[in-house]
Amino acid sequence: MDFLLPRAICRLKPANPPRILPRGLPKQGRCIASAATATQQPVPFDEAPPVPLRTPPHPHPLPQAHPAIHNRPLKDTRPFSDFLTDSFSRQHDYLRISITERCNLRCTYCMPEEGVPLSPASHLLTTPEISYLSALFVSQGVTKIRLTGGEPTIRRDIVPLMHEIGSLRSKGLKELCITTNGIALHRKLDSMAEAGLTGVNLSLDTLDPFQFQIMTRRQGFSAVIRSVDRILEMNRLGAGIRLKLNCVVMRGINEREIIPFVEMGQEKDVEVRFIEYMPFDGNKWAKGKMLSYKEMLGMIREKYPGLEKVRDEMNDTSKTFRVPGFKGRIGFITSMTHNFCGSCNRLRITSDGNLKVCLFGNAEVSLRDLLRKGNNGQPIDEDAMEAIKQVEMDRRQALPGDAQPLGYGERERELLELIGMAVKRKKEKHAGIGELENMKNRPMILIGG
């Protein structure tokens, strides 16, 4: 680990190591350097960008890179996976996986009051299937995985599942996050932290217990606050779990709580993100109920005119601000009035195993059906997964060439080709207001956010 190495060596470690794609994949999964590129000298990872001639040389020479880095041949490096790169050169290194369709709340903006028809249990991805798909995407360059729902904490085996996904850190996974309503979170936080939890997005649309019951059609406000407090307590002890509160703002419902949410960050290190109300099947969306980002920003600036813009992170969906002197920050997710499609790096897998390349797109492809093809279309449990692995390994032992890293040969190639075709069809941007509300799409709870 870095803290055991001399400082001089730690500095030479590249911040973003090159992605090495599995050997044996079809040609479209690789990107071969051109002849012109191949003749150039290898560039050390820690070397500064070229300095224009008119700029005088730096007075202090940069440290020399380790010989092993200098001598690394170009053929040993690979660019980002072509399978996860769309036709607009967007690289998708963030995967959101819905692990259940069920939820213990009935939020008004998420689903109709009567609920939604749920998929049969046999249609939902099993833990071995989710683990396999996670490993496959990480092998192609995914560095962040977020578990969503429904409400992911109600899945019985969520902690063992998180431990399995967390083990992919040695393969390149950097972030393991969860989106939750917080009702049951506090009971599982310690175990999730042990599995490698790095971030929690917690949905909370009101700080009023009575209003909470109206908006969610359920009780549980005190349990949610207990989860928030527990994360903050763990962070004071060094857990390092990034906490974000997601607040969907609806005109006439909860816009009066914008300022209380802002002031929550005066003493608490939390980021509150205000989300423009978005249309999904069954949530009775209306343009008049949507409060725009500019309106919300104006309301906050009336109370706090010193509000400052914070530099956003790459691929961030939120426009971030801070009130000087406050510990926390605020953000705005402007899906309706100012899309961020140009920097989108997210893919979604639904609970029933469909790949969805855009939250607002209605095109989906089934990874589940292709994955189960070798199991007669039946759900793959641990025993079935081991049997499939053994059959594939036995088959490959009779063939020349190197072994596939995941051990799935033909199935892996077929899945990657299907994923690549879906990603290449991703549109430049989603439809805007005036079209989205008339577009057929799943209810939010069946997408996973």
Which residue in this structure is represented by tokens 């989106």?
A: 179
Measured CA to CA, the distance from residue 398 to residue 409 in angstroms comes to 13
pLDDT in tens, the chain (449 residues): 333 333 333 333 334 444 433 434 443 443 333 333 333 344 333 333 443 433 334 433 433 433 333 344 444 445 899 999 999 999 999 999 999 999 999 887 777 777 778 899 999 999 999 999 999 999 999 999 999 999 999 999 999 999 999 999 999 999 999 999 999 999 999 999 999 999 999 999 999 999 999 999 999 999 999 999 999 999 999 999 999 999 999 999 999 999 999 999 999 999 999 999 876 555 565 777 889 999 999 999 999 999 999 998 888 878 999 999 999 999 999 877 877 688 899 999 999 999 999 887 778 999 999 999 989 999 999 999 988 878 777 776 765 555 444 545 788 899 999 999 999 999 988 655 455 455 555 565 566 66
410 within a domain of the structure (yes/no)? no
Q: What is the DSSP string of 38-94?
A: HTSPPPPTTPPPPPPTTSPPPSSPPPPPPHHHHT--GGG---S-GGGB-TT--B--E
How many domains in the chain?
Answer: 1
Residues 6 or more apart from 145 whose CB is under 8 A from it?
94, 95, 96, 97, 134, 137, 138, 165, 168, 173, 175, 176, 177
6 within a domain of the structure (yes/no)? no
93 within a domain of the structure (yes/no)? yes
Query: For residue 25, what are its two tokens?
Result: 């994949």
Strand order in the sheet with 199-203: 308-309, 318-322, 329-333, 271-276, 242-249, 199-203, 175-180, 144-148, 94-98, 346-349, 354-356, 365-366
Domain with 336 in it: 86-361+428-447
17 within a domain of the structure (yes/no)? no
395 within a domain of the structure (yes/no)? no
Q: What is the structure's pLDDT at 282?
A: 53
Is there a contact between 436 and 430 (Cβ–Cβ < 8 Å)?
Answer: yes
Sequence letter at residue 182: G
346 within a domain of the structure (yes/no)? yes
Q: What is the structure's pLDDT at 390?
A: 80
- Is the peptide bond prior to 342 cis by the omega test (within 30 degrees of 0)? no
299 within a domain of the structure (yes/no)? yes
223 within a domain of the structure (yes/no)? yes
The terminus-to-terminus CA distance of the chain in angstroms comes to 35
Q: What is the structure's pLDDT at 340?
A: 64
Residue 152 sits in a domain of what CATH number?
3.20.20.70
Neighbours of 249 (CB within 10 A): 25
Q: Which residues pair with 346 in a beta bridge?
A: 94
Q: Which residues pair with 180 in a beta bridge?
A: 202
Q: What is the structure's pLDDT at 117?
A: 84
Q: What is the structure's pLDDT at 197?
A: 98
Q: Which residues pair with 318 in a beta bridge?
A: 333
Q: How does DSSP classify residue 438?
A: G
